[in-house]
Amino acid sequence: MSNPREFKVGQELYMVSNDPRSVKYRVMDAGEPGRVVTITAIGRRWATLDSNNGRVDMETLELDGGGYTSHARCWLSMADHINHEKMCFLLHRIRTMTPSGPTLGMTVARLEAVAVTLGLLSKEDV
């Protein structure tokens, strides 16, 4: 595997723990869920991070779990992480709004409009 995202030594990534109980990867004083790390070396598959932060898979951005589940993930920026969290929250809200199917007030036209907005259908399919 090559360097799919064209990482460079010195590039900063935003690392977030997958475990909310983890103190090691939390920035307590700033109140943020992650912290900035720097790439110090680049190999074929892995990019090594600074200050004993291990290495990150350059394709998935998951930290090396050493044979276990990865304990953290890197993002290209804090804004990317925040955007991902917002998307997950909104998708969760959409799923929980209709747990057992359509509810009162929903129409086929409204659902089609949502599907077009989400890119699930094209306007020609409606």
11 token code pair = 């590039």
- Asked, for residue 7, whether it belongs to a domain, the answer is no
Residue 101 sits in the same domain as residue 59? no
Does the residue 4 lie in any domain? no
Alpha-carbon distance of 68 to 91, in angstroms, equals 28
Query: Is residue 44 situated within a structural domain?
Result: yes
Q: Are 56 and 64 in contact (CB under 8 A)?
A: yes
Domain boundary among 35, 55, 76: 76
- The answer to whether residue 65 is domain-embedded is yes
Q: How many domains does the chain have?
A: 2
Q: With respect to residue 108, please indicate whether it lies within any of the assigned structural domains.
A: yes
Bridge partners of 27?
Answer: 32
The gap from C-alpha 62 to its chain's centroid, in whole angstroms, comes to 10
Give tens-digit pLDDT for 17-75: 887 666 544 444 455 678 899 999 999 999 999 988 899 999 999 999 888 888 899 99
Summarised one tens digit per residue, pLDDT across range 74-101 is: 999 999 988 888 888 888 877 777 667 6
Bridge partners, residue 19, by sequence? none
- The residue among 58, 76, 94 that closes a domain is 76
> What's the angle, vertex CA 39, arms to CA 27 and CA 29, rounded to 5?
10
What is the rounded CA–CA span in Å between residue 86 and residue 62? 20
User: What per-residue confidence (pLDDT) applies to 28?
Assistant: 40
Task: Please check whether residue 5 lies inside any domain of the structure.
Answer: no
Q: Would you put residue 52 in left (φ > 0), alpha (ψ -120 to 50) or beta?
A: left
